[in-house]
A and B are shown apart, each in its own frame.
Chain A
Amino acid sequence: MTFADVGGGALRAALALALWGLLASAYAARERDGRALQSARWSALAAFVLVVAASLSMAAALLAHDFTIRYVALNNALETPAYFSAISLWAALEGSILLWTTILAGAVAYVAWRGTREIPRLATTALAVMFAMLAFFLFLVVSPAADPFVRIDPAPLNGRGPNPLLQDHWLMGLHPPLLYLGYVLFSVPFAYAVASLILGEGGDRWIVATRRSALVAWALLGVGIVAGAWWSYAVLGWGGYWAWDPVENAAIMPWLVATAYLHSVMVEEKRRMLRTWNVALVIGAFALTILGTFLTRSGVVNSVHSFTQSAIGPLLLGYLAAVLAFSVGLLLWRAPRLADSGPVGVPLSREAVFLFQNVLFVAATLTVLLGTLYPLVVEAISGAQLSIGSPYFDRVEVPIALALLFLMGVGPQLPWHGASRATLERQFAAPVVVAGAGALLALAVGLRGAAAVLGYALAAFVVATVAQEVMRGVRARRTLHGETAAGAFVNLFRRSGRRYGGYVVHVGIALIALAVVSSQAQAAEAEATLAPGGSMQVAGRTIVFDGLRDVVDPQRTQVVADLRVLDGGTGAALAPALTYYPNATAGIGSPGIRSTAGDDVYAILAAYDARSRAWATLQVRVIPLVSWLWIGGAIVGLGAVIAALPPGRRHSSAVAAPSGTVASVT
């Protein structure tokens, strides 16, 4: 039996199980039939095991260089190192869809097996929805559109090797799976929301049941986006990390909607408001994950990520249309049952801030969507080809981002139901002073633009509000429980993880804002052609060019420029390179980066004397604070972990929160 036999067979068996599970769980939900439910649950587990087996056989085929499989022949070579062979599982379309299907199968098994033996009717219905989605993706991976196990005969002696850009950095092993986990896990809240609509439940049981999975999906997507920005920065060699590329937009849109959702559910839990809105947000976030996959996988938009055009595009578009028609139709049908306690009213209240925050997040999403799809629309109508560049996104999204930073500081400081004047003074006196200090700091480090200074001020404002909350929380615990300062600090995060984890996320976002402001506004750049021994100046740094050398690896050859950054006498080494892979006609630039807390020195070998190695054209950038972008991303992830952990003493077994206990926010 070959890897292809095992993998292809496992996927077909999993498809049969998913279809059976769909029928069994739908029957179980309708008839409250325990045996059908058990059968569905075992189907979910078995399907997951089979899809994992299929993924493992693909990974094994890649590691074993089994070129009888077309995917392996196209994305692997004998010289490919083991790490990059293994992660070539997601180097191209078919493998990526297989990874997606694997994660989805895991999510189905999670929905089937979470909680106790008797899972409630809501979860059973959600399970049926999950099975339907899994069946679609399993259909994709066994259909010619995205079958990863298609054979090639005769098998080539060597494969083409993975895409050069994908074997250049270890982050490639992290960024796509994180993003996919985030994308796919949104299907859990979506399935529960749809199940709640199908059953006609008016309440927010579905929100309580999926609070953690929504948070985890959001966090994984967010960290995956930051990891992608980091990969772009470290590999693509253009000195930036975000270009409003359609694929970046595809990833950020569901994240924006999910961020709105995570906040507006608090309004529903606390005030029984915005019920229809929350269902709409979950549907929107989920639909945007499919739209993102469609945009990136169908080849309708040109992007750095567009791998191949394939027949999968129309299938995904059909899936998106079906999902939208079904869920929006359900929502319209059931909306009368989603009665709110009343509209949001008092302007200076936390629920009002959440309302504005939601308006801004949705506006940000729609404007990004507009900029992403506009070229498609124009080309379809008039045939003219155009692109919407960064200026559009910068001009529209930067003010929205600043307004959101402001609300991020204001929201947690305002009580529910409205604030009095005394409350406002108590909550905002110190943070406003700190915000002023932030603005002065921005001016002191040489920032001048209004948006940049405001960005610093608002980031300082946010950090100050969080610090104030934490200090007050510690003080309260010390007086109430007689804890030590350190103990109170730790318990704050353990006992009220959702609230204080959220604050940690806010600090991470504030750091990201600072990093974006400084790296965008204050990067210095110089380009020079140097002979060995020559030097150039960038932002007060001297960079010495020591010469070129050739490095030959089995899978690639490199021309490396040896540089030294002279600051403080240590002379940190930089080695930007042009890398040549046998499957690419031209060199891939690999930047040399020296990161410190203050700034990054980022060097690119732009051109060199191919005959005698007598000169090299070097581009060097000094980019302030950019490493805080990655650190901020990690802090966002940490905050999400704190918020997702069960409150109180940590229980190792995560038991589904019983309905009725709404996790405390305040």
Chain B
Amino acid sequence: MSVARPRRQAGIGERRLLALTALAIAVAIGYVAFQNLNTSAVYYLTPTEAQERKIAPGASVRLGGQVEPGTLRYEPTSRDLRFILTDGVTRTVVVGKGAPPALLREGAGAVVEGFFATDLSFRATQVIAKHDEVYVPPSPSRTPPHRTP
């Protein structure tokens, strides 16, 4: 395949075009990255922090706390999941759909991702169990656990 080709030297205009294109690509990617960084950031809050900050209904947040003992209910046929997440001060009713993660237990830490409904209950799109062994449990998104107080 190695055929001698005429060696063409690039003109200054071509070089400049190439450099500007490369620069434009880099700038565009940087712009897209920083734009998305803020929109994709999901803040961890405790139920108390969420109450204090008056998080708007529908806004995506992640709550960390403890599953209050005696409140975890899973209805197998309708697959409705319901429990109270507490940080010791504020209690938030969490409503979700689907079987709870195998590691979710009453009294243990949990992280829920979702949004507040207008009735101030929390609609969880994801429930992530957190336990305090050396290894972080697997979870649907394998998102980092919240350090619960």
- A539 is an interface residue with CB less than 8 A from chain B: no
* Residues of chain A within 8 A of B33, CB atoms compared: 367, 370-371, 392, 396
CA–CA, A374 to B36, complex, Å? 12
Complex contacts, A390 vs chain B, CB 8 Å? 141
| A53 CB, nearest partner CB in chain B, Å | 29
- Which of B6, B11, B43, B139 interacts with A385 by CB under 8 Å? B43
B99 touches A527 (CB 8 A): yes
On whether the beta carbons of B25 and A165 are closer than 8 Å, the reply is no
Say whether B42 contacts A384, CB under 8 Å: no
Contacts of A391 in B (CB 8 A): 36, 39-40
**B37 engages A607 (CB within 8 Å):** no
Contacts of A344 in B (CB 8 A): 10, 15, 18
Q: Are B18 and A347 in contact (CB under 8 A)?
A: yes
Of A473, A586, A666, the residue contacting B131 (CB under 8 A) is A586
Pairwise interchain contact A360-B25, C-beta atoms closer than 8 A = yes
Against B, the Cβ 8 Å flags (1 = close, 0 = not) of A400-441 are 100000000000000111100000000000000000000000
- Taken residue by residue from 588 to 606, chain A's Cβ proximity to chain B (1 for < 8 Å, 0 otherwise) reads as 1100000000000000001
Q: Is B5 an interface residue (CB 8 A)?
A: yes
The reply to whether the CB of B105 lies closer than 8 angstroms to some CB of chain A is yes
B55 contacts across to A, CB distance below 8 A: none
Chain A, Cβ-Cβ closest to B10: A345
> A528 contacts which chain B residues (CB < 8 A)?
79
CA of A400 to CA of B28, assembled, Å: 11
A245 to B103, CA, bound (A): 20
Interface size class on chain B is: 35 or more
**Contact status B2-A589, CB under 8 Å:** no
CB-CB < 8 A to B9: which residues of A?
A: 342, 345
Chain B residues positioned under 8 Å from A585 (CB to CB): 103, 105, 131, 133
> Chain B contacts of A308 at CB under 8 A?
134
Known: A415-B5, A527-B99, A586-B105. A307 touches B134 (CB 8 A): yes
B76 within 8 A of A: yes
Contact of A304 among B98, B100, B136 (CB under 8 A): B136
Q: Are B36 and A396 in contact, CB atoms less than 8 angstroms apart?
A: yes
User: Does B119 reach chain A (CB closer than 8 Å)?
Assistant: no
CB pair B36–A385 under 8 Å, yes or no, is no
- The answer to whether A359 has its CB under 8 Å from any CB of chain B is yes
- 12 A-B pairs in the complex with CB atoms less than 8 angstroms apart: A304-B142, A307-B134, A342-B9, A343-B10, A345-B10, A346-B14, A346-B18, A352-B18, A375-B144, A386-B42, A387-B144, A390-B141
Query: Which positions in B face A, CB cutoff 8 Å?
Result: 1-2, 5-11, 14-15, 17-19, 21-22, 25-26, 29-30, 32-33, 36-37, 39-44, 62, 74, 76-77, 79, 98-100, 102-103, 105, 129, 131, 133-147
Measured CB to CB, the residues of A under 8 A from B are 163-165, 235-238, 243, 245-246, 301-304, 306-308, 342-347, 352, 355-356, 359-360, 363, 367, 370-371, 374-375, 378, 384-392, 395-396, 399-400, 415-418, 472-473, 476, 527-529, 578, 584-589, 606-607, 609, 615, 617, 619, 664, 666
